Amino acid sequence: MTLTIPTFSLISIGPWLTLALGAILILLVDALSKGRKTYFPYFSLAVLALAAFQTIDLWGAQSTDFARMVYVDNFAFLFYLILILGAALTILLSRPYLEEWGKDMGEYYALILFATVGMMMMAASAHMIMIFLGLEVMSIAVYVLAGFFREDARSNEAALKYLVLGAFASAFLLFGMAFLYGAAGGSLYLDELAKRLTDAATLTKPLTLLAIALLVVGFGFKVAAVPFHMWTPDVYEGAPTSITAYMAVAVKAAAFAAFARVFFLAFPAFHVNWHMLLWVLAVATMTLGNVVAIAQTNIKRMLAYSSIAHAGYILVALVAANQLGAVSILYYLLAYTLMNIGAFGVVILVARKKDSYLNIYDYSGLAYQHPGLAAGMAVFMFALAGMPPTAGFVGKFYIFSAAVQAGYIWLAILGVMNSLVSVYYYLRITVLMYMRPAEADLGPIAFTPAVTACVIATAVATVLVGIFPGWFYDLAMNSVKIFPSL
């Protein structure tokens, strides 16, 4: 047999290359030159900006490349932009926090860039194995980042749990892909899968269903869906706060990108099989996340459970499997990126001294000592609770409308009830900040410019994206046109 090297264009994966090269450059410079480098954050931001420009430049393309392994389409691009935004905001948060721990090192930024490349691969995959590769590129970088504070036992424990369970879940994912490979008769292209699986439905249906089940497990793990969520609170609590923020938004976004792409593109014919499964997962995820969050007193852990609940909301959109549902996934991830990173920004500002102030009661009376900071946190809490006119409200509105449109009335009702439960613990923070006297003097908070800018920008954007959702709605609507089944 002969293997022909297919033609390809590097331009279509330009953003990946930029980030990967940038990351390698950081590693090289860090290794080859002496002294402490202070310019890595700026350089990383510049690289991310360049990647964003490349993405915008590519906007409108609608093709595949690298022997149909990679989609070059708006759905991928929109995710690129969300991922780049997440990475950039994370980097803004990082510097002073890392310095506090004495860990402001080049590889931190390189790893974030590498992880972002992996995420982009997931968002653009046209072939199952690309999804796996992207997932692993992302995961391996994030495992390291979770344990980045090597001298901290909690950070170690977080990395360990994430790695073992992550590898375990990836193995299930891989098993699923292998069965799919068999069921489809030797193809793993997403668009071909849809055809082949339906053609050969009777014979290989059990194998296909098994594969779908295992894929649900693999993706379910990455998005932290119940019962594959157990790692989330521990890892989110133990990891460096900036990385927690990054994991909560970007890892989730990438996983949902692949999740949606696979299930909307490859398995639409099996919607009858998986919709009830995801229905149950969505309800369990929302409910458990919101209920257990109530009992938390560590703010990082509370936000971890809240992140589980938010994964549940997005699963609702996946169940709906209509255009509005797909749009709402994109919108919600954007909104979640803004409000969650903002909230973690406040957490970083308040925590100080190697995370000494992570208890929610440390926020008592914050409004009297730092009104601006408290106002920002209040915005994020309102947004996470889904109150108008913030982006959090609009996102939930889209998701639940999509569910109603698709006929899942009860799912929408349960979702709304869950939002009501969540109001309790989000508002508790606001009440603590505004209506309680400070437990003890909070002491001075160092408002470093980058973190402050990040918090202000996300707070403003959370409100603006909520008030003006139209432009992003249109972009997202345009980008989900690639799913013929919706």
Q: Are 245 and 326 in contact (CB under 8 A)?
A: no
CB-wise, 13 or 292, nearer to other proteins? 292
Angle at 289 between CA 284 and CA 290, to 5 degrees: 105
* Closest distance to other proteins from the beta carbon of 191 (Å): 16
Residues 6 or more apart in contact with residue 335 via CB below 8 angstroms? 383, 390, 391, 392, 394, 395, 462, 465, 466
Q: Are 272 and 330 in contact (CB under 8 A)?
A: no
CB-wise, 74 or 204, nearer to other proteins? 204
CB-wise, 59 or 473, nearer to other proteins? 473
Q: Strands, E, within 135-192: which ranges?
A: none
* Closest distance to other proteins from the beta carbon of 450 (Å): 22
* Closest distance to other proteins from the beta carbon of 133 (Å): 6
As a whole number of angstroms, the distance between CA 77 and CA 55 comes to 6
* Closest distance to other proteins from the beta carbon of 212 (Å): 6
CB-wise, 170 or 448, nearer to other proteins? 170
As a whole number of angstroms, the distance between CA 310 and CA 422 comes to 10
As a whole number of angstroms, the distance between CA 309 and CA 288 comes to 7
CB-wise, 403 or 451, nearer to other proteins? 403
104 is written with which tokens?
């402001």
Alpha carbon of residue 59 to chain centroid: 22
CB-wise, 43 or 408, nearer to other proteins? 408
CB-wise, 323 or 485, nearer to other proteins? 323
* Closest distance to other proteins from the beta carbon of 426 (Å): 14
Of 436, 455, 46, 476, the C-alpha closest to 245 is 455
Taken in order 410, 411, 417, 421, the sign of the CA dihedral is positive
As a whole number of angstroms, the distance between CA 70 and CA 63 comes to 9
Helical pair 323-351 and 74-100, crossing angle rounded to 10 deg: 10
* Closest distance to other proteins from the beta carbon of 135 (Å): 9
CB-wise, 58 or 429, nearer to other proteins? 429
* Closest distance to other proteins from the beta carbon of 185 (Å): 5
As a whole number of angstroms, the distance between CA 364 and CA 272 comes to 49
* Closest distance to other proteins from the beta carbon of 391 (Å): 11
